[in-house]
């Protein structure tokens, strides 16, 4: 069947293969995708078709197939097309193979002009890219970020599944938050005030009290901070972990270290094409991650770099970056800082015999905080004392305090910012590039 823009055949759509699977020795193949690029050389049209797995060149010759040639002349960038034809080896074609078409069909036409270039490497600022995210997501480099992200998180979950952790889901609508009142998004819940969840913290601990022993959640957390940085967003993809019957926070760090190494190895092995597209030379941290105390971190910053963080109870962005460079130069892209002072009520603090203020740690990867975690206070009486010292409104936590009061094993865990992890692994300047449809104080769509 033929119309002005198509010369069809009857190959079923289901038989189409990906561009990466086109074998030069095959008799006939069908591919489908968006038109990435058209080069019209007069009597010769090169059509580059793009699907999820890559690009393939289709060569239309007026002399060889006049009917097809006439059909392709009106093609526009980003039209969705299907091509059937014979694969031919070609040194000039991307991937070393091209297709000589026998059928060609425009399945859906794209409007033009496009508000954003897909195929050309034009420098566009991030805000324009995100305004036109639906098109920006089509770029092979953007797609590579999300394909890499999928490989990374599938491997991460694999590790926890294999180690016997239970995959959990905790509520996203809550009465209060564990991470601080100012960062909560209020919502109207029927006739009551409620909030979007900041963290599964309380629930994963309740599950430890309930005897679930080891859990993980790939979830979402909401933070209403008013920030304008390259590492904060309002809606975060969070990977939460909690395990019981531990001796101390080192058992938790061991889990984090091994699972992260496993997931990064998977990316290095399975996402080679994506890493190449993103121009990333991924170093998998094979050696033990250094574990330094908070005091040692401050000392190092002062003596090596003359840097004094403004808040003496935390490391600032610059401090993390300086320490990150310091350890990276020694072959350690990842390290832990252990024992932050003045920590939240749920962390174990001021343990007799400890040389650290709390059993709270942060993981720094490539100079940026990726996760926070530690051993928890499983003795409710002590936790309630700390809540009082810290002026925490206990009424919001009654269900949690009660749940932990019926016998709770020693436990600990951490929350890993998935978007930050992807940002660091893919070498992206801004966390929003690692999120399909990011949310920040100024962005609610697309």
* Residues at the interface with ligand AMO (CB under 6 A): 179, 199, 201, 223, 225, 232-233, 236, 238, 240, 369-373, 413-415, 417, 419-420, 431
Residue among 22 and 236 whose Cβ is closer to ligand AMO: 236
Residue among 85 and 200 whose Cβ is closer to ligand AMO: 200
Lookup: tokens for 99: 């297709």
Residue among 17 and 224 whose Cβ is closer to ligand AMO: 224
Q: Which residue minimizes CB distance to ligand AMO?
A: 417
We find the least distance from the C-beta atom of residue 307 to ligand AMO, in angstroms, to be 21
Outline where 73-139 has alpha helix (H).
Answer: 126-131, 133-136
Residue among 51 and 419 whose Cβ is closer to ligand AMO: 419
CB 395 within 8 A of CB 445: no
Residue among 134 and 182 whose Cβ is closer to ligand AMO: 182
Euclidean distance between the first and the last CA atom of the chain, given in angstroms as a whole number: 39
Closest CA to 346 of 388, 313, 377: 377
b/e sequence 63-87, b meaning 16+ C-beta within 10 Å: eebeebbebbeebebbbebbbbbeb
We find the least distance from the C-beta atom of residue 372 to ligand AMO, in angstroms, to be 3
We find the least distance from the C-beta atom of residue 252 to ligand AMO, in angstroms, to be 9
We find the least distance from the C-beta atom of residue 259 to ligand AMO, in angstroms, to be 14
Which residues 6+ apart lie within 8 Å of 215 measured at CB? 165, 166, 167, 168, 204, 207, 208, 241, 242, 243
What is the radius of gyration, based on Cα positions, of the chain?
27
We find the least distance from the C-beta atom of residue 310 to ligand AMO, in angstroms, to be 18
We find the least distance from the C-beta atom of residue 240 to ligand AMO, in angstroms, to be 6
Residue among 98 and 240 whose Cβ is closer to ligand AMO: 240
Q: Alpha-carbon distance 229 to 427, whole Å?
A: 16
Beta bridge partners of 47: 38, 58
Residue among 367 and 413 whose Cβ is closer to ligand AMO: 413
Task: Give the up-direction half-sphere exposure of residue 133: CA atoms within 13 A in the CB hemisphere.
Answer: 15
We find the least distance from the C-beta atom of residue 266 to ligand AMO, in angstroms, to be 20
CB 101 within 8 A of CB 83: yes
Q: Alpha-carbon distance 249 to 412, whole Å?
A: 7
Q: Alpha-carbon distance 386 to 7, whole Å?
A: 75
We find the least distance from the C-beta atom of residue 236 to ligand AMO, in angstroms, to be 4
Residue among 223 and 332 whose Cβ is closer to ligand AMO: 223
């Amino acid at each position: 069947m033929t119309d002005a823009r198509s010369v069809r055949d009857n190959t079923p759509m289901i038989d189409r293969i990906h561009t990466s699977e086109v074998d030069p020795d095959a008799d006939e193949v069908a591919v489908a995708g968006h038109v990435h690029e058209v080069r019209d050389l007069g009597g010769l049209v090169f059509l580059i078709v793009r699907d999820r797995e890559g690009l393939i060149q289709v060569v239309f010759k007026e002399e060889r197939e006049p009917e097809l040639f006439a059909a392709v002349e009106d093609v526009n960038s980003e039209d969705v097309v299907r091509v059937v034809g014979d694969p031919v080896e070609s040194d000039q074609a991307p991937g070393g193979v091209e297709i000589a078409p026998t059928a060609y069909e425009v399945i859906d036409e794209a409007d033009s002009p496009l508000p954003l270039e897909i195929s050309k490497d034009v420098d566009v600022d991030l805000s324009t890219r995100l305004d036109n995210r639906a098109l920006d997501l089509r770029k092979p480099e953007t797609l590579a970020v999300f394909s890499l992200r999928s490989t990374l998180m599938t491997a991460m979950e694999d590790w926890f599944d294999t180690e016997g952790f239970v995959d959990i889901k905790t509520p996203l609508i809550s009465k209060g938050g564990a991470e601080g009142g100012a960062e909560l998004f209020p919502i109207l819940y029927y006739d009551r005030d409620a909030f979007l969840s900041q963290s599964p913290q309380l629930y994963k601990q309740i599950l430890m009290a309930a005897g679930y022993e080891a859990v993980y959640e790939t979830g979402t957390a909401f933070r209403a901070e008013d920030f304008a940085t390259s590492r904060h967003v309002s809606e975060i993809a969070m990977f939460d972990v909690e395990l019981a019957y531990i001796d101390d926070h080192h058992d938790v760090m061991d889990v984090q270290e091994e699972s992260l190494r496993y997931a990064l190895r998977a990316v290095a092995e399975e996402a080679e094409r994506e890493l190449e597209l993103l121009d990333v030379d991924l170093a998998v941290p094979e050696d033990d991650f250094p574990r330094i105390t908070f005091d040692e971190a401050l000392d190092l910053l002062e003596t090596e770099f003359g840097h004094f963080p403004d808040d003496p109870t935390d490391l600032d962005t610059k401090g993390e970056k300086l320490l990150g460079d310091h350890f990276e130069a020694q072959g350690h892209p990842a390290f832990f800082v252990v024992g932050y002072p003045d920590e939240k009520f749920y962390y174990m603090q001021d343990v007799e015999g400890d040389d650290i203020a709390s059993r709270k740690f942060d993981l720094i990867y490539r100079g940026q905080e990726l996760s926070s975690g530690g051993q928890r206070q499983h003795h409710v009486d002590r936790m309630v004392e700390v809540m009082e010292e810290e002026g925490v409104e206990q009424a919001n936590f009654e269900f949690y305090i009660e749940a932990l009061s019926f016998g709770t094993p020693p436990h600990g865990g951490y929350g890993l910012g998935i978007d930050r992890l992807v940002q660091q692994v893919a070498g992206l300047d801004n966390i929003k590039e690692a999120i399909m449809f990011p949310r920040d104080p100024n962005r609610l769509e697309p």
